[in-house]
Amino acid sequence: AKAAGRDAVCFFKSAMGAQARARFTLESELRHAIDAGELALFLQPQVDGERRLVAAEALVRWHHPRRGTMPPGVFIPLAEESGLIVALGDWVLRRACGLLAREDVARAGLRIAVNMSPRQFAQEDFVARVRRILADTGADPTRLLMEVTEGVMLDRLADTIAKMSELAALGIHFSIDDFGTGYSSLAYLKRLPIHELKIDKAFIQDAPGDPNDAALVDAILAVARHLNLRVVAEGVETEEQAAFLRARGHLLYQGYLFGSPLEAEGQIERWLAEGAL
C-alpha cells in the first residue's frame, strides 16, 4: 500500500510537471504570437430593431501554427495571469482603431467595441497608451467603445473612475459586459461614466422559457432605463429570443441569428457589398 501511495505521488508530481510545462510552452508561444502576426481580429455585428448594422464587437483569435485556431476562452485567461494581456490588449485596440480610421468605416459611422481587461486598466500609463493609439491611427474616439466587466470596478474603484472619466472626456463610450453575472450594485453604476449594459447570453438564451431569467432581463432593462443607458443583448440565436426581447423595448442585438464573428477585413468587405456599411 505504501509503494502504491508512493507511485501515486510520483504520478501526481509528473502530471503536475507536465501541466506546468504545457502552460509554460503555451505562454511563451503566446508571447511570440503577437510579433509573429498569429493573432487575428474578428468582428461580430450588433444590430438595431430594424436589423440595421450599428456597431461591431472586436473579438481576438489566435491562429496557432500547429494547434489551429484557438478560441479566446483558452488563451485570454493565460494572458491575464501572465500579464501578456497588456501587450495583447494594445494590439487589439490598435487594430480596432485602425479599422475605425478607414475612410469607408468612418463615413458609415460604425462603432467598434473592444474588450478591456482589468489588468490593462491597472497600468499606470493606461490613459496615455490609449491616447497614443488614437493619435497614431487617427481613429475618432467617439466611435470607440470599451467593454469592461464588473470585476474592473471592484478593485481600485477610485483609480478606475478617474481613468474612465479621462477617456470618457475624449468621447470614448463604456459598456458593462456580462451584466448581471457580477456583483455591481446600482451605487457603483451611478458613479461610473458608462453608456451601455450588455446582458449576458446566459440570461438571453433561457429567457423565453425561464421565468427567472425573464425577470432578470426585465430587471436589467429597468436599471438601464433608470440610468438612461443603452442595452445590448448578446447571444441571440433564435427568432423566439429576438421576439421576446423586441417586446421589451428598444435595444441592440448581437448573436448568431444576426451574424457570427468573422475576420475583420472580410467582414467589412461583406458589409460594404451588402450596403450595410
Q: Which of 210, 218, 239, 240 binds Ca ion (CB under 5 A)?
A: 210
Window of 9-17, 27-35, 153-161, 176-184 that interacts with Ca ion by CB under 5 A:
176-184
Q: Which is nearer to ligand C2E, 189 or 253 (CB)?
A: 253
Contacts of 171 by beta carbon, 8 Å cutoff, 6+ apart: 140, 141, 142, 144
Q: Which grid cell is 54?
A: 450599428
CA atoms of 59 and 89, how far apart (whole Å): 11
53-86 b/e (C-beta count within 10 Å ≥ 16 → b): bbbbbbbbbbebeeeeebeeeebbeebbebebbb
Residues 173-212 that bind ligand C2E (CB under 6 A): 177-178, 201
Measured CA to CA, the distance from residue 244 to residue 195 in angstroms comes to 23
Of 218, 157, 145, which is closest to residue 184 (Cα–Cα)? 157
Among 5, 37, 68, 73, binds ligand C2E (CB under 6 A): 73
Chain mean position to CA 196: 13
Site string for Ca ion, 88-127 (x = CB under 5 A): ---------------------------x------------
Nearest approach in angstroms of CB 34 to ligand C2E is 12
Binding of Ca ion by 196 (CB under 5 A): no
**Which span (126-134, 189-197, 253-261, 266-274) binds ligand C2E, by CB under 6 A?**
253-261
Q: Closer CB to Ca ion, residue 115 or residue 241?
A: 115
Name which position in 82, 115, 160, 184 contacts ligand C2E (CB under 6 A): 115
Angle at 64 between CA 260 and CA 123, to 5 degrees: 80
Residues 134-163 within binding reach of Ca ion (CB under 5 A): 147
CA dist 175 to 144, 146, 148, 168, Å? 11, 6, 6, 11
> By rule CB under 5 A, what count of residues binds Ca ion?
8
Alpha-carbon gap, residue 84 to 27, rounded angstroms: 8
**Which residue lies nearer to ligand C2E by CB, 29 or 177?**
177
Summarize as ranges the residues that interact with ligand C2E (CB under 6 A): 44, 59-60, 71-73, 76, 89, 92, 115, 117, 177-178, 201, 234-237, 255-256, 261
